[in-house]
Chain A
């Protein structure tokens, strides 16, 4: 929200802008004052926009050649891989793009957790983000079903069967979802339709996410409010644009390594076997980005409670702005929270690891402890920490710590004495 009113220079521009203020919007996006101390963890927003666009463009192209039919889907994917010009490239970008999308979104979420970006006045941005994340999981899951390989089929069977845990109506809901009495052609066609729809819902939500962001402006590593515009901020263009471009290029190099040199490493070999309802794979595992939630699901002995736990694990995030009672945003000034943050990160990685392992013996025990800790972190540690923790005094402006990267303890001390 720049203070000065934008006036187009040309007469036509003025005429047009009075009727549809697109030029004002462009000017706002160009001038948008951004804290100048943002670090590289802040570049993942731009990277995520890139991921979404890539998925939509490659997805549209794939949809031109893909056939959503239980008897033809697997073959049509092979047709794309073999006979469509650069079909292999488009499909590998799309398949690995999903993984890269999740990689970026996890970094984005954990950046937000570290710097308290979800706190007032940014709760709505955060909640929209959680909805986007949920839709991403739905889109990714349904996308994985489309090649109609063994893991597609059995993954779909396992996940849709979760709804049968709902008392009384569960079975009915599952049959309704399937469009029959097992995962079959009707399931495939509706998954394809929804897989096509969801990215555009995400796109709309991304617009809202950015709109909501542009009201208070970006949080920053110090986590204090900055005056906008001021000497603490830089205009979005060219400063942030070039920095985001640099980070995006680094990201694309990693992306390219996967696409060109190990395009199948993140997938499961069984998905190159055509779906066969008569043969169950030895281990049914979801894609890596869903593993932590899969571990939570399996760590509860009761099916219904397992589903409830898994859903709660995601939905609890939406309540985070109120569960975290601390007024201090950045973990830099919260010595205790910082420790718990790293423990939580380790906890989620452990959950991801045990999610890929068979649910038995030591793995199951670890999964249970890690699941319990996940909930304890959000439901007990965070609310209490806000009251108990002795935080480090905040600097008055971001210019103070910006030179050293981290707040200079001596300066902070001196200011404390002055106060």
Chain B
């Protein structure tokens, strides 16, 4: 039994060691408490809905979200708008469909089954409109940056005047947390930029937190299901392990040897 603890200890030590190696950070990122972390972590519905509002009113003019569908907005584990709300949201957007029976392409309002409509037709168009920089697709952004949500939250709040001696080109901004400190996106958030319908005060920090929560959900839409299942699976495994341990002791009791 002592050996098992030794083995498990070594395993955890080894894996913890390797994971830290890859997550070497230079600047200490801003921290806030995320409701979705931890064994029972869940998204804060209000925050997700507000986050969607920030995304759609602020980010979506440049950043696409091509892997997310309007139907996801009412599915369990997400912002959980009502189906009618999600339909209404979708109907605000125009998509090109076709060809119809005359062989013509046509536009129609988006449906629940459509993916989020992209602000630009393609990457080149996006670059052309943004001074050569491509605003990254935001679907999996929260998983695509080392530091994850903390990094995104920090970048959103990390705009400052460049330190003396640093000169920036036109259309480049200084950000304390951005890799290389140069960012081509102007500061996107300012206090009161959006008006939350639930009465929450739209401070910069609040909006950053809400939109980052929303991005975590778009990157991991099944996070809540995963946490729920994980708890059950591990509990089940622990109980089974205990039962098997005692069975093993019983079976080996006739043998002059240690297990």
Q: Which residues of A contact B105 (CB under 8 A)?
A: none
A403 at the interface (CB under 8 A from B): yes
Chain A, residue nearest B248 (CB): A242
B255 & A239 in contact (Cβ 8 Å cutoff): yes
- Determine whether B257 belongs to the interface, using a CB cutoff of 8 Å to chain A: yes
Measured CB to CB, the nearest residue on chain A to B144 is A272
Interface residue tally on B, bucketed by range: 35 or more
**Does A257 sit within 8 A of B, measured CB to CB?**
yes
Report B3 CB to chain A, min CB distance, Å: 5
How far apart sit A268 and B12, CA to CA, in the bound complex (Å)? 19
| Contact status of A405 and B22, CB under 8 A, knowing A239-B252, A242-B248 | no
Q: For A261, list chain B residues within 8 Å (CB).
A: 39, 227, 230
Q: Which of B21, B143, B248 contacts A353 (CB 8 A)?
A: B21
Residue of A nearest to B11 (CB): A254
CA distance A79 to B237 in the complex (A): 29
Q: Is B234 an interface residue (CB 8 A)?
A: yes
Which among A15-23, A51-59, A179-187, A243-251 touches the partner chain? Answer: A243-251
Question: Is the pair B222, A268 in contact by a Cβ cutoff of 8 Å?
Answer: no
Any chain B CB within 8 A of the CB of A13?
no
Contact A234:B255 (CB < 8 A) given known A254-B12, A260-B229? yes
The distance in angstroms between the C-alpha atoms of A257 and B237, with both chains bound, is: 11
Given the known A-B contacts A250-B241, A253-B237, A261-B39, are A266 and B19 also in contact in the complex, defined by CB atoms under 8 Å?
Answer: yes
Chain A residues within an 8 Å CB radius of B226: 88-89, 92, 260, 263
Q: Look across to chain B and name the residue whose beta carbon is closest to the beta carbon of A270.
A: B144
Q: In the complex the two chains form, is B67's CB within 8 Å of A272's CB?
A: no
Residue A259, interface by CB 8 Å? yes
Instruction: Give the nearest-CB partner of B148 in chain A.
Output: A269
Contacts of A264 in B (CB 8 A): 143
B19 and A265 contacting across the interface, CB-CB below 8 Å? yes
Which residues of chain A are within 8 angstroms of B124 by Cβ–Cβ distance?
none
In B98-149, the 8 Å CB interface with A consists of 136, 139-140, 143-148
Q: Which of A88, A256, A357 contacts B234 (CB 8 A)?
A: A256
A266 near B240 with CB under 8 A, answer: no
**Are A250 and B4 in contact, CB atoms less than 8 angstroms apart?**
yes
**8 A Cβ contacts from A372-419 to B:** 399, 402-403, 405
Within 8 A of A (CB), among B238-259: 238, 240-241, 244-245, 247-248, 251-252, 255-259
Give the residues in chain B near A39, CB-CB below 8 Å.
3
Task: Give chain A interface residues in 24-62, CB to chain B under 8 Å.
Answer: 36-37, 39-41
Q: Give a binary string over B20-54; 1 marks a CB under 8 Å from any A CB, 0 the rest.
A: 01100000000000000001000000000000000
Q: Is the CB of A250 within 8 A of B19?
A: no
A266 touches B15 (CB 8 A): yes
B69 CB to closest chain A CB (Å) equals 8
Tell me how far the C-beta of B124 lies from the nearest C-beta in chain A, rounded to whole angstroms. Answer: 12
Output the least CB separation between B85 and chain A (Å).
20
Q: How far is B240's CA from A344's CA once the two chains are assembled, in angstroms?
A: 37
Number of residue pairs spanning A and B whose beta carbons lie under 8 angstroms apart:
134
Prevailing SS type, chain B contact patch: helix
- Mask, A78-95, CB within 8 Å of B = 1, is 110110000011001000
Please give the distance in Å from B214's CB to the nearest CB on chain A. Answer: 15
Q: CB-CB < 8 A to A273: which residues of B?
A: 136, 144
Secondary structure at the A interface, as helix, strand, loop or mixed, is: helix
- Report A30 CB to chain B, min CB distance, Å: 14
Question: At the interface, yes or no: A352 with Cβ under 8 Å from chain B?
Answer: yes
List, in ascending order, chain A residues with CB within 8 A of B220's CB.
Answer: 88
- CB distance B19 to A269 under 8 Å? no
Contact of B143 with A257 in the complex, beta carbons under 8 Å: no
Q: How far is the CA of A403 from the CA of B258 in the complex (A)?
A: 7
Verify if A285 is at the interface (C-beta below 8 Å from B).
yes
B257 with A36: CB separation less than 8 A? yes
Interface centre among A36, A266, A269 (most CB of B within 10 A): A269
CA distance A260 to B224 in the complex (A): 10
- Check A78/B256 contact, CB under 8 A, given A266-B18, A269-B146: no
A256 close to B237 (CB less than 8 A): yes
State whether A242 touches B230 (Cβ < 8 A): no
Give the distance in Å from the alpha carbon of A357 to the alpha carbon of B225 in the complex: 36
Whether B179 lies near A282 (C-beta < 8 A) is yes
A402 x B241 contact (CB < 8 A): no
B45-79 contacts to A (CB < 8 Å): 67-68, 72
Complex: chain A residue closest to B231, CB-CB: A260
Tell whether, in the assembled complex, residue A252 and residue B143 are in contact, meaning their CB atoms are under 8 Å apart: no
- The answer to whether the Cβ of A288 comes within 8 Å of any Cβ in the partner chain is yes
Query: A238 in the interface, Cβ–Cβ < 8 Å?
Result: yes
The answer to the question of B166 belonging to the interface, with a C-beta cut-off of 8 Å to chain A, is: no
A356 to chain B: which residues have CB within 8 Å?
18, 21-22
Whether the pair B22, A288 counts as a contact (CB closer than 8 A) is: yes
Complex Cα spacing A268 to B230, Å: 22
- Chain A residues contacting B219 (CB-CB under 8 Å) are 272
Q: Is B143's CB under 8 angstroms from A272's CB?
A: yes
* CA A364 to CA B65, docked complex, whole Å: 41
Chain B residue at minimal CB-CB distance from A274: B137
Q: Is the CB of A260 within 8 A of B234?
A: yes
Q: A103 within 8 Å of B by Cβ?
A: yes
A259 touching B230 by the CB < 8 A rule?
yes
Please list 7 pairs of residues, one from A and one from B, whose beta carbons are closer than 8 Å in the complex, sorted by A's number: A82-B67, A242-B244, A254-B11, A263-B226, A272-B143, A353-B17, A405-B258
- 3 residue pairs, one from A and one from B, having the closest CB atoms: A260-B230, A272-B144, A249-B241
User: Interface residues, chain B, CB within 8 Å of chain A?
Assistant: 3-4, 7-8, 11-12, 14-15, 17-19, 21-22, 39, 67-68, 72, 136, 139-140, 143-148, 179, 219-222, 225-227, 229-231, 233-234, 237-238, 240-241, 244-245, 247-248, 251-252, 255-259
Known: A249-B241, A249-B244, A252-B237; 10 extra A-B contacts, CB below 8 A, are A239-B255, A249-B240, A253-B234, A253-B241, A254-B8, A256-B234, A256-B237, A269-B147, A349-B14, A349-B17
